[in-house]
Amino acid sequence: MTLKGGHRIPIKAADQKITLPVIPAKTVILFPGEVITLQVGRPENIALIQENSAHDHLVAVVYSPRGESDVREVDLCHVGTAAHIIAIKDGPAGSKIISLEGAARIVLEKIRQKAPYITGTIGYVNEIAASPEKAADLTRQLIAILEEITRIDPSYSDELSYVLKFNLGDPGQFADKVAAALHLPLLTKQRILEAYRIEVRLAELLHALQNELERARVLYEVKKNVDERAVNEQRKSYLRQQLYEIKRQLGEEFIEDKIAQQLRNEIKKNRSLPPEVRDRALIEIDRLNHLSTASAEYGATKLYLDWLMNIPWNKFSPEDYNLRQVEAEIDEEYYGSPQIKKQILERLAVRQLSGGVSEGSVLCIAGVPGTGKASLARAIARALGKKFIRISVGGMIEISDIKGSARTFLGAAPGIVIRTLRDAGVCDPVVFIEDIEYFAQDANTALPMSLLEAIDPRLNGHFLDNYIGLPINLHRAIFICAVKSIEGIPEMLAHRFEIIELPGYIEREKIHIARKYIIPRVLTAHGLKKRDINFTDNGLKKIIRSYTLEAGLLNLRRQLERICRHVAKEKASRLNKIWTVNEKTVESFLGTPQFIPEKPEKKPEIGVAIGLAWTGMGGELMMIEGLRMKGSGEVITTGSLGEVMKESIQAAHSYVRARADILGIDHNDFDNFDIHIHFPSGAIPKDGPSAGVTVSLVIASVMAERPIRHDIAMTGEVTLRGKVLPVGGIKEKISAAYRAGIPKILIPLENKKDLKELPDDIIKKTKFIFINNVDEVFAAGLLDFVPSSYTLEKLFAEELEKAKHRKSGTSQKRVAAKSLKRP
């Protein structure tokens, strides 16, 4: 038990110490001359009341700020009030209800006992009067504020200030009366009670009343605004009822009623609306009927109803397509790999057998720009007889972009999914989603997951847009995503995508697509006829080789458009003739060639080999150069090479060094000479392991000082044991070699199956050498490569040892000799 209070308070002199029972008051402050009522329930306090109920007995009423939860300890303030118990009544649950009348301020000096109830030694406060002028000034301010409070705060009686003025003769008593009458915080009242200087007491009360006035003014302004709005609404309602009655008498109608009735009729006619949508629409129409057309809420509600009515609820296209006919239409619209078309048809077959729905993964088409991703999706839509919608999700950073924003926000609208369905007019269009790789680059996982809710067949049966607030079935919609490369697919979406990778087109395919698809459309778009321009094959080859550098067809289309614009200008100038685009006239249309294709050397050279590369712009020749020079055996690489390519060069170097005997190279040369490997076009970054066989041949050439054949190109990854592993982009690489006029190509044996994708004329005019190890590369690529007899015998012995595990008897020698091509 502690006494709260810090400053020293003067006490009136007394002959002896006075001890009084103490009542801790937790919810009220008792001022001298005031009467309060308390409910007492604790046993010690009830005992106190029973023993001190006589009217001539005094008790000390002291404020205790501690909560009721702690019954063992009681905090008591330093200053309280001596009071008489003037009435006692029985309360509920054995409690007592007492009335106390304050007599005088006291100071609780010391606690004498705690049981059976609290008693303490007290002293009467010696109050110090204020100067008459100061007291009068503070009193005037208090009365002014008090009158303002009673005027604006309805919780106070209007007569309060009038009654309190009767106590102006005693400033101290006036302060006590005002503090007791107002709804001030208990701690504020306690500070006023503790003020023994009348001037300080009045100043403390003035500060408290100023705070109370500020609170009352805020409440008054709020109430005033609410009342004014209510009055205005009542006035508008009254005027609207009068206007309604006047128009009814004149036989006219409200425009709100007319619009509402039109909307109700539309809802009745629309049989495809689900019951929950119909109910929501009718509720919104009822709200609309009670709103003014000039209000903002009317416009928002009308817009929401328009969206509800324009969404194609339960509208689907028929699923009665024939797969053979679908295949024929896709072949007509899209030129590409038969394997890709086979995958598409298999998915459509599953959809047909499952009744127009599929729980499979989402189709994602990966390919560089211009490889026909959109054309393939459009061909699918046309073959199925469905609407085709093309959207982009690049740059979206908010969930509301996908799922809409809540109607409570200003400018709220549905997300892109609902807008797409409205544009399509059906719930099962073919939706082609582009720029997935730019989607949510700086956002968290919530945005990709929101998109997945819309496009994943497992989740989109009840897709909920935040603006519409009603689920819609997207189960039958076909969503096709598109990316430039597999690496660009967001990690959160990759596990739900079935990826179909579109390869780049070779030159022959580009010419075919240009004649069948691009040229007719470009001519039509420029107001030209087929007879106006004659494109020759050599002219198209010239455009492809010298003005475009791509795996797709975008730049080819742009160059054809430039030619058509040139012809359209001349034709509009009344020049009537047939324009021919051939190898000689291309430059007159397009200007100086933008690209110079790589060409093989005219004769064999030491340290120069033709590699084949596969880039985002298709297949290319890559002339790899090597040079040896006096040094300490280092391998120097230049040409903006990546880590994988550098490791591949090191592996090739190690293997050539291990095969120095076969190549007739002195082992000391690897310690006395540095080797410099250079990849031209140093500004272009390069990486990958597919140049391993080419680098091996270059290193062997410069160290053995033997030239490399200039009529052979190669590709393949090399292991440290000399094995040649398969690589990608075989079709594009072979097409680049064929385009450059190279008759022989070395490719890994395991890539032999990839030749099926090549045109027959390329296969017939090209000699393919299938390699399984680097030694075969040496034999095919180096001129005059004949191993020494010592080296050959040593190698034969090695192969003979390996053959023992596979054959027996005399056949072992045949196997070893065959592996080395030994006679």
CA distance 347 to 505: 24
- Burial degree of 517 (CB within 10 A; 0-12, 13-18, 19+): middle
CA distance 570 to 567: 5
Determine whether 733 is an active site residue: yes
Q: Which H or E run contains 383?
A: helix 373-384
CA distance 428 to 358: 12
CB 466 within 8 A of CB 516: no
Q: Which H or E run contains 187?
A: helix 186-194
Residue 806: which residues within 8 A CB-CB, separation 6 or more?
815
Q: Is 728 helix (H, G, I), strand (E, B) or coil?
A: coil
Q: What is the DSSP string of 550-618?
A: -SSSHHHHHHHHHHHHHHHHHHHTT----EEE-TTTHHHHH-S-S-------SS-BTTEEEEEEEETTE
Determine whether 690 is an active site residue: yes
Tokens coding 171 = 């400033």
Q: What single letter denotes the amino acid at residue 706? A: R
CA distance 282 to 272: 15
Q: Report long-range pairs for 510-514 (Cβ below 8 Å, ≥24 apart).
A: 510/540, 510/544, 510/553, 510/556, 511/537, 511/540, 511/541, 511/544, 512/335, 513/335, 513/553, 514/540, 514/553, 514/556, 514/560
The closest alpha carbon to 625, from 700, 703, 678, 549, belongs to: 678
* Candidate list 64, 690, 701, 735, residue with the active-site label: 690
CA distance 652 to 648: 6
The closest alpha carbon to 38, from 89, 108, 81, belongs to: 89
φ/ψ (deg, to 5) at 641: -95, 145
CB 457 within 8 A of CB 351: no
φ/ψ (deg, to 5) at 38: -125, 150
Tokens coding 63 = 């404020």
Q: Return the active site residues.
A: 690, 733
